[in-house]
Structure 1
Amino acid sequence: MTIDSTEGGAGGPGSRSEDAAGDTPWRSAGTPSNVASRLERLPLSRWQVKIRLLIGTGTFFDAFDALAIAQVLPVLTPMWGLTGTQIAALISIGYLGQLIGALLISGVAERFGRTRAMALAIGVFSVFSVLCALSTGFWMLLLMRLLQGVGLGGQVPIGAVYINEITKAKGRGRFVLLFELIFSVGVVLCAVVGRFVVPAFGWQGMFLVGALPVLLILPILRVVPESPRWLAARGREEAADAQMLRIESAVVRAGRALDDPEPLGIGIREARGRMRELLGPDYRRRTLTVWLIWFATYIVYYGIGTWLPSLYRGHFGLPLETSLNYALIGNLGAFLGAAICAFTIDLLGRRRIFILSLAGSAVMMGVLALLGAQQPWQVLVFGSLAYLAAGAASIGLYLYTPEIYPTRIRAVGVGAATSWLRIASMIGPVMVGSLVTSGLGLVCGIFAAIAAIAAVVVAKWATETKDRVLEEISH
């Protein structure tokens, strides 16, 4: 079978598929089961890698912008005379915006499509990144961070949904997480860029760098096909078939041959999803379990990560350069944890990764609690190890959450789940800011208990999804 690559633009609807005998039995069929079977037989090619890198660049800047505040606070705190409460507010307000964005933009993705939702999210956080750089005081920056967060909260979940929806079951974990690993690269490079940009060019430079993804909007709208799974689930079978032909043509042009798809034998319901399904009888246990994993993982991940530079600088009195260097070590730990997860999750499975990650975070936070976190070296060593463990779970969740829901509610399911990320990301920094004068040991003990409870819940109730077709998991 061959595919004619004559098409408009970067793989447009003019594509057609044929074989030597004429029409194939699956030609011009865009039902949910047909789309799923055609996606399942797609070999990995340069096309998938190109799409992953394009969307991943937006994900990179999402991570960069989310943590840029941690790099500028050591400068803004003495400049503006910020109190501990104001520091916590500047950290947490961005996550409130992300919570709003996760819910709003996931709704856009379900109604108008994945690619439009991603473009909207990138446009919002790019514009308000510039306005963050133009802020003249605490209150203006607080408002701009809130609005910037709306875009940040929508882009990563929808990107994860899209990449899951165009990837076949076998090897999906590694393929998706190599995409999500770009988020962890953004975390690390945010610290690296902050280490050089803030002292040399001022704090505004961090936000201006974070506005660069505005350049991605047009390429995403022109180059990235709409998700065929979403189109088919909405009953738009002709459009789903056109996008599948577009993808199949791109894969063939990349030098890969296509076999005829094999029927999956799975009945798939075409329907518009409702958010209330998340807590309905079919998905309640999955939903509550994954919400707890998001909360427990990110109360550690952001509770530690966003405060590290300020803790080293303000609480322990270390020089600015040393504080930023120590924070960079913690970020490198998070990246290492994410990389380990990406390369082992298809081998170990999702449940084992989450159990190990959450238990590891609990142990490291527990050690810090017992030591009282009284010395900077203690926070550097055990805090970085906890950050490493949390980093593994944090990236795995962007693979796992889209897997456990059907296409009709996948975006809102991921959006609702990542809302618990935002809640944890608000509570964690505020908790550190409020209790830091009473000793970091107490905060670490609370973090350890939450992570330990989540590890037990995962062991008992989490659904394993390794090597299973998306439609089979939610059938």
Structure 2
Amino acid sequence: MHHSNAVNRLNRLPIARFHKITLLAVSFAYFFEFADINTFATTAPQLVDLWGITVDQVAYVTSLSFVGMFIGSVVASTIADRWGRKNALIYTTLCFGVFSLASAFSWDIVSMGVFRVLTSAGLAAMTVVAVIYVNEVYPAAVRGKYQAYAIVIGICGTPATNLIASAVVPLTDWSWRLVYLWGSLGLLFVFFTRHLKESPRWHESRGEYGAADAILTEIEAQVALEKGPLPEAPPPVDEARPAKASPRLLLKKKYLGPTVLLAVVWVTQTIGFFGYSSWAPTLLAKEGFSVEKSVFYVALTTVGAPLGSLLAALVTDRFERKWCLVAFGTVIALCGLLYGLTFNPILIVVFGFLVNFFERGYTALGYAYSPELFDTQSRSLGTGVSYGLGRLSNAAGPLIIAGLYHRTGYQSVFLFIAATWILGAVALAIFGPRTRPARTAAAERPRAVV
């Protein structure tokens, strides 16, 4: 067999039980990724009181966590290419679950910092692998929608964590540890592993056409049994087997443009969103709100997150993703600025709700948009490096925010955050390539940014 025709055979499948089980598994991993990603932010105000740590120390832990995310993102692209998308998804999910559990037993800010860096590496690695996995398993015409559906379910982990934290953190001097125990429940992902299939496109990219065909045949049999006879797949396009991807590949003209653009997108998204979500509880507490109220207000705002992902699911395959991202980024900048200009509790919740609503929609759109700018050979590497650079940028973000807060006050933080969102929107508007909602096999080739 010289070609397993994975792209065309997957693209002509109707959505069936196989896709729904995969959606449930990926959503579960996303749920505890989003549940875990802000655990330190929700417990930091209490640790400031209990351990006597400073805003600067909170900034250092947050900053180093994003260094961990960069490392995790880059490592993810390597293990996803070497061990397969399925295995990489399993290992990275277990990784962040184990280190979140370890965080529950932290004894000082140094041990907490170490465990959070390792947890963050696992979180970012899992995200990169999950984005690639969904992109390669679902039909092209609906992959954006199902990427967003996974985040609709997964993002519920954020308000769940914040509401749990608002209830348990104030109870006793040790109850903050329960927040990290909650985040570690991602370890239960092991119960989904036997239901997942390896990406046939990964096997095909390695020249393992027999393995790819075996998985495709199994998937097709399951879908046909449920949905009836399947239409014939278009014939494959004969292509040379791609060479092993190396970091130098991204320096080629056709890959460099998308990589730089997506790095800008993820840098501005990371600083813009995590600058808000990681700091909101602590800064509100510093501005006179009690720990209980600051955590509770932020918990209420995150209720908007799953609704924003649902909005993304409705628009992602109907409208050009590039322009959806531009519109969402602009609205986030405005709402985030208004959030920082008020101390009225109701308006804090309203504008914070809108920030979470549109930002999680933006993230869902970005997860669908990013891998579409690369072909199979470069997808894992390009997605991992660009996403990782975004996370690495926030090693400086918390330090910038802490410096702004000390020198020019609370509101300057939100002026800075709004500016980062506008920068990302402008970059997309000018340089972002279009990606059609329904893409053919021919569209799998990378597009140069013009």
Compute the TM-score of the two structures, normalised by the length of structure 1. Answer: 0.87
- Tell me the amino acid that sits aligned with residue 48 of structure 1: H
Q: Which amino acid aligns with 2:177?
A: Q
Shift of residue 301, structure 1, vs aligned partner: 1.0
Q: Which residue of 2 aligns with 1:122?
A: 93
* Aligned residue type for 1:81: G
Task: Please name the residue that 2:415 is paired with.
Answer: 445
CA distance in 2, matches of 1:284, 1:56: 31
Q: 1:217 is matched by which residue type in structure 2? A: V
Output the CA distance in 2 between the equivalents of 1:264 and 1:35.
Answer: 8
Counterpart of 1:285 in structure 2 is 257
Distance 1:378 1:424, change over 3 A: farther
Task: Give the 5 Å matches for 1:42-441.
Answer: 42-200=13-171, 202-217=175-190, 219-220=192-193, 222-263=194-235, 265=237, 267=239, 269-315=241-287, 317-367=288-338, 371=341, 379-437=348-406, 438-441=408-411
Matched residue type, 1:109: A
1:462 to 426, 432, 438: 432
How far off its partner does 1:376 sit? Answer: 5.5
Deviation at 1:365, TM superposition (A): 4.0
Would you say how many aligned residue pairs link Structure 1 and Structure 2? 442
Whole-Å Cα distance in 2 between the matches of residues 42 and 350 of structure 1? Answer: 23
Structure 1 residues 200 and 42: alpha-carbon distance in aligned structure 2, compared to 1, 3 A threshold: farther
The letter of the residue matching 1:206 is: V
Task: Give structure 2 stretches of 5+ with no counterpart.
Answer: none
Distance 1:36 1:147, change over 3 A: same
Distance 2:167 2:64 in 1: 26
Decide whether the 8 Å contact of 1:333 with 1:388 is kept in 2. yes
TM-score, normalised via structure 2 length: 0.92
- Cα 1:471–1:320 change in 2 (3 A) is farther
**CA displacement at 1:291 relative to structure 2:** 1.2
Q: CA deviation at 1:351?
A: 0.9
Number of the residue aligned with 1:12:
none
Distance 1:183 1:429 in 2: 25
Compare 278-287 and 71-80 and name the one that shifted more.
278-287
Alpha-carbon shift at residue 367 of structure 1 (Å):
4.5
Q: Is the 8 A contact 1:298 1:394 kept in 2?
A: no
Secondary structure of 2:403 counterpart: helix
Note closer, same or farther for the CA distance 1:255–1:277 as it changes in structure 2 (3 Å cut).
same
Larger CA deviation: 327-336 vs 241-250: 327-336
How far 1:434 moved relative to its partner?
2.3
Superposed CA offset, 1:215-249 (max 9, x none)? 323632x3211100010011111111111112222
TM-fit CA distance, 1:305: 0.7
TM-superposed deviation, 1:306: 1.2
Select the structure of larger CA radius of gyration.
Answer: 1
Q: CA deviation at 1:256?
A: 4.5
Q: 1:337 to 1:344 in 2, by over 3 A?
A: same
Contact 1:125 1:149 in 2 (8 A): yes
Greater shift, 283-292 or 234-243, is seen at: 283-292
- How big is the alpha-carbon RMSD for the aligned residues of Structure 1 and Structure 2? 2.2
Post-superposition CA distance 1:189-216 (Å, at most 9, x none): 1112222233347111111122222232
* Equivalent-residue separation in structure 1 for 2:309 and 2:240 (angstroms): 33
Contact 1:101–1:151 under 8 Å retained in 2? yes
* 1:60-103, Cα deviation, whole Å (9 max, x unpaired): 11111111111211221100001011111222322221111111
